[in-house]
Chain A
Amino acid sequence: MNFVYYPGCSARGSSKDYELSTQAVCKALDINLVDIPDWNCCGSTPAHAVDTELSAALCVRNLDIAAQQEAELVLTPCPSCLSNLKLASKRMEDPAFRVRVDELLDGPSAKTFPPVTSVMQGIAENFDMEAIAARVRKSLKGLRLAAYYGCLMSRPAEIMNFGDPENPTLMESMLAACGAEMVDFPLKTACCGASFGIPERPMTARNSGRILDLATQLGVDAVIVACPLCQMNLDLRQPQASKEMGTSFNLPVLYFTQMMGIAFGLDHKDLGLGKLRVSADGLIRKLDELRRESAAGSKAAEGGRS
């Protein structure tokens, strides 16, 4: 099946591994992601922090192109892009706002825009948990994982439509279908510190540190994320967080598509695992060991019966 795709700027830059693993997993599910031609940056936080109409204009250019392409649905992997696109679409329903935004564009934009949703929801809407489980070649059974959604994915609830804003569970369902034990993670929607890593490092280091700290206390093997900025803050900036919290974290932080890709038995190169700062090698080794043990276990059982 084909989906119109809005990759977002990080996908081709600092979160290339998210893009790689998203493409790989979608390919494995026979989902073809077709880029919105000539897509531009949605403006992320800086645009809406500066001006709402500017932010909307940047987003509407993309939605307009998608509308011209007669897209029925647009998928995007980044919660910030998702939030901006959805909010812009909603605000354009106000005629006065629409006039102001269209003034910034080359021409008046389409009357209606296609709905936008996350890649995760796009997959879940077309593959129920049994279908996902059926694709698993290497069960994650025995791995304890914490699903971390970040603050944007599920809020505001009426715009993002991502389940309970306090307790979304879609990632847990999908990874549980791959066999993992999903630990209850109370800070699953707490903010990681967003884009303040550059202008105010302690803000990000402290917030990310708190998340990593709880995950460590809960004894998880990895933290699984769905947002490029969260991943950067928890992984690339993990040493900064360690320093701020006066400890030394060693927790791999993987995108859910990378984790699913591993479960689907996809080539690790295609999942961008090499781009993780905190290496996932230990995690992979543990997983392989668990699979060897359970294979040996069942063999022994067979042996015993004969």
Chain B
Amino acid sequence: MRIGVFVCHCGSNIAGTVDCAKVAELARAYPDVVYADDPMYTCAEPGQAAIEAAIHEHKLDGVVVASCSPRMHEPTFRRTVERAGLNRYMLEMANIREHVSWIGRDMNANTNKAAELVLLAVEKLRNNRPLLAKSFDVNKRVLVIGGGVAGIQAALDCADGGVPVVLVERDATIGGKMAKLDKTFPTVDCSACILGPKMVDVAQHSNITLHAYSEVEDISGYVGNFTVKIRKRATYVDWSLCTGCGACTEKCPSKKTPDAFNELVSDTTAITIAFPQAIPKKAVINAAHCRQFVKGKCGVCAKICPTGAIKYDMEDEIITVEVGSIIAATGYDLMDWTVYQEYGGGAYPDVITSLQYERLLNASGPTSGHIVRPSDGKEPKNIVFVQCVGSRDKSIGRPYCSGFCCMYTAKQAILTKDHIPDSQSYVFYMDIRAAGKLYDEFTRRTVEEYGTEYIRGRVSQIYPDGQGQLVVMGVDTLMGQAIEIKADLVVLAVGIEASKGAPQLAEKLRISYDSYGFFMESHVKLKPVETNTAGVYLAGVCQGTKDIPASVAQGSAAAAKVLALFSKDKLESDPQIAQVDMRRCVNCGKCIQCCPFGAIKEVEVRGEGKAQVIETVCQGCGLCTATCPQGAIQLSHATDNQILAEVNALCQC
């Protein structure tokens, strides 16, 4: 071979503690090395041009770059050598920055180690083979899981970009949490008014197929070729006949069904339409509370329905769709705040969550927008808002900030004053997080123009005084004293967690998630909407707490990723995958068992069973290579021989 070695200075990042010129000099003596140099910045344009020039001038057929971590620039340098006519896998990198110059100051020791790492890279390169990527078709359809504002935005942007969208939503209507809000900060826009048109666009867009009251059952395949099973849950109403007239909901005698859309702050009928602007505006029967299902006797809705849409014998339906990419936009839920026994643990009816309060504020909510105490229906005059309930609390394992509660609490305090002019609101806070555009000015308005009392401190206990009011025991740390307030109503800004079922969905998508269920992005700063699984993207709060503007932005960002992916007709597969040498394979089946992706199958070759890799599914993890007792299955670009070459080189140093 004719190998060229480039030892990068990286300014003083590497050269500060490594003698790069010396390393290059030592490298010149390595086997098959015909050229060595130590450029200042190899990844910069001049640096790359110099590599290309050297390849041509010295007729190199392999290149070693000793510089930063391959995670930084391996793709960069692979493209460099490819431009100069070499196969991109005839490049090896030695990490002499993160593994050498950044961890010690001893110039001698570092230079030695760098030289050794370069030797390892040279020996590996000497055993490399050119690899060719295969290309495969990409199915230009996208699945969006979750119909909240992030999913809606992603769906619309993909659809407008000419890509057919399958949108799956677990609830009976799209709109997510935003559809439950009364008004939104910082503009105090009516939430349904700004979201409604987008929801209608989704319903009417020719490129979007909406499956509401449905869930993703199973996902198989790989980027460009996912096969997804969707369970369309039985609504017991034929949606092709239902007009959303609502006559059934008026006549249904089962009025004690817990109302999930109204956050359980009220009861509703067993057959419901979620809210007036619901999309789809269709009825759904909650079988667990329906007399027809539980007792076998009723049928009022079936009699009333003018189009005969009620179908008690409906069953779940499983459909299959083929898509090339998936966007997860599954949003959030409030955590279980009843662990706070000191706040009553859920036993006091006048201690409610912010979302429940939002439903009371909403004109299409259970009280037609009248704020009343759940206990006696009276209008409250003293309302206490408590922030950080279940956020920033290590003692219950929730150390993180939920991000938008300071803002919505300020909004709720403003709306309270609008609804009840002679009311007095108090807000207990630890810090105010109002970093967005116009946000801080908004929080100041609630104090300066709406007379809200902001009290800096937590609340230790809330309990009923036996006379109909609640005693709130808090503190004002700025005054340095405990504070006691008698409240008619207490609203808790409860911390958030990922939507129920998020971890299970993550397993199906084969993406990672953290201990609160939030999906893991590829890089928290630079790749917030991508995951480490090709073809799966994230949008909205499912990736981490954020407000509506950020959710919408991520929806568009995820759509941009999908459109970029689909801009090519074919995708390249990564050739760094496992290969079976059939002559060595004895069909023990161990590789098939250990492969976490199900990427190896047994085939018959000349009457004998042999293992074969399904190239498009293999993720190149190498488990099989380590497992095979015969060494028959090898991971390309990380074969046993290639690795052993490095080990041998190291042992002789």
Which A residues fall within an 8 A CB radius of B? 164, 166-167, 184, 186-187, 214, 217-219
Bound Cα distance A12, B267 (Å): 57
The A-contacting residues of B in range 423-472, CB under 8 angstroms, are 461, 463-467
Q: Chain B residues near A214 (CB, 8 Å)?
A: 463, 465-466
Q: Which residues of A contact B11 (CB under 8 A)?
A: none
Query: How near does chain B come to A218, taking the closest CB pair, in angstroms?
Result: 4
Complexed CA–CA distance, A164 and B341 (Å): 9
Asked whether, in the complex, the Cβ of B463 is within 8 Å of the Cβ of A186, the reply is yes
Which of B268-321 touch A at CB < 8 Å? none
Contacts of B345 in A (CB 8 A): 166-167
Chain B residues with CB under 8 A of A219: 466
- Name A167's closest neighbour in chain B (CB-CB): B341
Interface contact A187-B465, CB-CB below 8 Å? no
B479 contacts chain A at the CB level, 8 A cutoff: no
- Residue B342 CB within 8 A of the other chain: yes
Which of B341, B347, B463 is in CB contact (< 8 Å) with A187? B463
Q: What 4 A-B pairs are tightest by C-beta distance, nearest first?
A: A217-B466, A186-B463, A166-B341, A218-B466
CB distance from B327 to the nearest CB of A (A): 42
Q: Is the CB of A217 within 8 A of B467?
A: yes
B465's partner among A164, A167, A184, A217 (CB-CB below 8 A) is A217
**Closest CB-CB distance, A183 to chain B, in whole Å?**
9
A164 vs B467: C-alpha distance in the bound complex, in angstroms? 27
With A167-B341, A167-B345, A214-B465 already in contact, 14 other A-B pairs whose C-beta atoms are closer than 8 Å = A164-B341, A166-B341, A166-B342, A166-B345, A184-B347, A186-B344, A186-B461, A186-B463, A186-B464, A187-B463, A214-B463, A217-B465, A217-B466, A219-B466
List A contacts of B467 (CB < 8 A): 217
When C-beta atoms are compared, the residue in chain A nearest to B342 turns out to be A166
Neighbouring A residues of B341 by C-beta, 8 Å? 164, 166-167
Measured in the bound complex, the distance between the Cα atoms of B344 and A167 in whole Å is 9
User: How far is A194 from B485 in the complex, measured between Cα atoms in Å?
Assistant: 26
Assembled-state Cα–Cα distance A119/B345 (Å): 28
Q: Which among A164, A166, A187, A219 has the greatest number of chain B C-beta atoms within 10 A? A: A166
CB distance from A139 to the nearest CB of B (A): 26
Q: Which of B321-358 contact A (CB under 8 A)?
A: 341-342, 344-345, 347
State A167–B338 Cα separation when bound (angstroms): 12
CB distance from B560 to the nearest CB of A (A): 49
Give CA–CA (A166, B467) in the complex, Å: 22
| A167 and B348 alpha carbons, distance in the complex (Å) | 14
Contacts of A218 in B (CB 8 A): 466
Assembled-state Cα–Cα distance A235/B399 (Å): 43
User: Please, which residue of chain B has its CB at the minimum distance from the CB of A216?
Assistant: B466
The residue of chain A having its C-beta at the shortest distance from the C-beta of B461 within the complex is A186
Query: Which B57-95 residues sit within 8 Å CB-CB of chain A?
Result: none
Chain A hits for B342, CB < 8 A: 166
Q: How far is the CA of A184 from the CA of B463 in the complex (A)?
A: 10
- Most A CB within 10 A of own CB, among B345, B464, B466: B466
Name the distance in Å between B100's Cβ and chain A's nearest Cβ: 44
Report A-chain residues with C-beta under 8 Å of the C-beta of B461: 186
State how many angstroms separate the Cβ of A247 from the closest Cβ of chain B: 14
| B464 neighbours in A (Cβ, 8 Å) | 186
Report the minimal beta-carbon distance from A203 to chain B, rounded to whole angstroms.
14
